[in-house]
Amino acid sequence: MEERILLPAARRANGGEPIADAERLRIDHARLACLLVPTPTPRIFEEIRDILGPHDRLEEGPDGVYEAAIALIGEEDAPFIDQALRDQPEVRLRPMWPAEGRMLRRG
């Protein structure tokens, strides 16, 4: 949700320039999304854990992206961002698709 609400608001507040580390977060989110597609394996869990440790510190640390975004947006506008995040529709989940023994066919 931060890519839809928080980061664009911070970019607007920053004169149209993305805040530091926003691109790193997007890359991490893409990597995580790719790892959530196949059937989970111990190696996939390990890769997710390896991404999330530094990613969470980058987002949520004392000098993280969230703090930088709120500093740009301002404490008075932060409740509007919070409400916009809360108003987002629930993410629809799809059932897991076991991939063992399946191959994608080119058409």
Per the CB < 8 A criterion, the answer to whether 26 and 83 are in contact is no
Mean pLDDT of 36-40: 85
Query: Considering the domain boundaries, does residue 15 fall inside one?
Result: yes
- Residue of 13, 27, 24 lying closest to 70 (CA atoms): 13
Name the more confident of 91 and 42. Answer: 42
pTM score, whole prediction: 0.76
Query: Considering the domain boundaries, does residue 50 fall inside one?
Result: yes
Q: pLDDT tens for residues 50-59?
A: 999 999 999 9
Residue 69's domain spans which residues? 2-86
Name the CA dihedral angle for 77, 80, 81, 83, rounded to a multiple of 10 degrees: 160
Total structural domains in the chain? Answer: 1
d(CA 65, CA 21): 7
Query: Considering the domain boundaries, does residue 48 fall inside one?
Result: yes
Query: Considering the domain boundaries, does residue 100 fall inside one?
Result: no
Query: Considering the domain boundaries, does residue 9 fall inside one?
Result: yes
